[in-house]
């Protein structure tokens, strides 16, 4: 992606003059970023995306004339560009954000709205970081959101010797869309439980779980403290909390939610979940590492592999951000490196 004078060129889209000004000041404070334009609504956003060809767009959802979701759909059709959504930190905002991620947005920043004021300055560091990440992201066509049918029949899964006791999936940026390419393809009689750590804030993980549940034959839900981990169920770690598994037998594995933990940057932490799994099923845990920035999951996969377990990682070409999978590959810990469209089938073949 070409950047003028080495800077990441950003288009800001928001119907609020205050927000446009505040976001512009935050972005301009970083020497690696340059604001090349602003837009007040979706119509202007589409026009300026085509004329200015920005490297990254920050996009609000609620706007006059054309809202953010409609604008995003047109942008991805006419001039595919990395987009970071600015989303309300509410349940309704989470639903809209998930729709935006389905349409092709790379990431989002939740803004807190309290007593009529927006605590916009609190998001500065995160906003700058996510714009930089988005600038190097892999923008693809929107992934299908209608219910998917697994090409594997019940009889193909029945009778297989189970070599896996637990499937642990870890993901970050691009993860919600990636999970929609995997979870809905898993058959109802999958004999192994699935637990997921996706980097997302509170409220957003619950909406993600509900959306995946609509698309899947397996039950998908946000995990609760003390909940049993059983086949036929996919449990998503709640945003803002760490999730680990505890227990001493296949029939008595439970979820434990942890508020704080030293050394864990992300909450929920993929590493913490994987390490807890390695203690219960050292040789029969399957780690699946998907798209995302950073290396969360690396220490956990090291523990899984040391115990005799296995790992599947998403390949570079299908990742939105090739960070977490790259860390596993470079450490020589990946048993299988496959495109996103094949991960569900790899999982089925591994159980």
Coil, strand or helix at 230: coil
- Say how many C-beta atoms besides its own lie within 10 A of residue 10's C-beta: 27
Q: For residue 284, what are the CA distances in angstroms to 33, 287, 303, 333, 350?
A: 46, 10, 12, 15, 10
Cα torsion 322, 37, 41, 204: sign: positive
The span from the CA of 200 to the CA of 182, in Å, is: 18
Q: Which residues contact 20 (CB under 8 A, 6 or more apart)?
A: 12, 14, 38, 40
Catalytic residues: 172, 199, 296
- What is the C-alpha separation between 302 and 307, in angstroms, rounded? 9
Would you say 93 and 110 are in contact if contact means Cβ atoms under 8 Å apart? Answer: yes
For the chain, the distance separating the N- and C-terminal CA atoms, rounded to the nearest angstrom, is 40
The CA distance from 225 to 90, in Å, is 23
Contact 67/23 with Cβ under 8 angstroms? no
SS3 170: strand
Calpha distance 66→46 (Å, rounded): 10
β-partners of residue 312 are 288, 336
Answer for the pair 209, 222: CB distance below 8 angstroms, yes or no. Answer: yes
Residue 181, sorted as left (phi over 0), alpha (psi -120 to 50) or beta, turns out to be: alpha
């Amino acid at each position: 992606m070409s950047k003028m004078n080495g800077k990441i060129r950003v288009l800001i889209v928001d119907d609020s003059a205050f927000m446009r000004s505040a976001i512009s000041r935050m972005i301009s404070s970083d020497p690696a970023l340059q604001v090349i334009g602003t837009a007040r609504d979706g119509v202007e956003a589409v026009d300026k995306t085509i004329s200015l060809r920005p490297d990254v767009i920050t996009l609000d959802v609620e706007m006059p004339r054309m809202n953010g979701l409609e604008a995003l759909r047109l942008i991805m059709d006419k001039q595919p560009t990395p987009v970071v959504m600015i989303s309300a930190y509410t349940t309704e905002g989470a639903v809209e954000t998930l729709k935006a991620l389905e349409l092709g947005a790379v990431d989002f920043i939740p803004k807190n709205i309290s007593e009529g004021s927006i605590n916009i300055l609190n998001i500065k560091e995160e906003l700058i970081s996510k714009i930089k990440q988005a600038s190097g992201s892999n923008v693809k066509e929107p992934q299908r959101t209608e219910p998917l049918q697994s090409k594997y029949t019940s009889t193909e899964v029945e009778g297989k010797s189970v070599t896996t006791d637990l499937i642990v999936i870890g993901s970050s940026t691009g993860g919600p869309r990636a999970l929609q390419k995997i979870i809905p393809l898993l058959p109802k009689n999958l004999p192994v439980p699935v637990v997921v750590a996706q980097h997302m804030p509170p409220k957003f993980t619950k909406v993600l779980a509900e959306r995946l549940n609509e698309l899947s034959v397996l039950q998908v839900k946000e995990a609760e403290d003390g909940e049993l981990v059983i086949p036929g169920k996919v449990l998503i770690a709640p945003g803002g909390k760490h999730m680990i598994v505890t227990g001493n037998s296949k029939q008595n594995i439970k979820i434990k939610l942890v508020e704080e933990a030293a050394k864990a940057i992300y909450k929920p932490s993929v590493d913490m979940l994987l390490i807890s799994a390695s203690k219960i099923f050292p040789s029969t845990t399957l780690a699946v590492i998907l798209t995302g920035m950073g290396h969360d999951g690396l220490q956990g996969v090291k523990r899984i592999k040391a115990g005799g377990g296995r790992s599947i990682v998403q390949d570079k070409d299908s990742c939105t951000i090739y960070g977490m999978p790259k860390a596993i590959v470079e450490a020589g810990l990946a048993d299988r490196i496959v495109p996103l469209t094949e991960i569900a089938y790899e999982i089925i073949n591994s159980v």
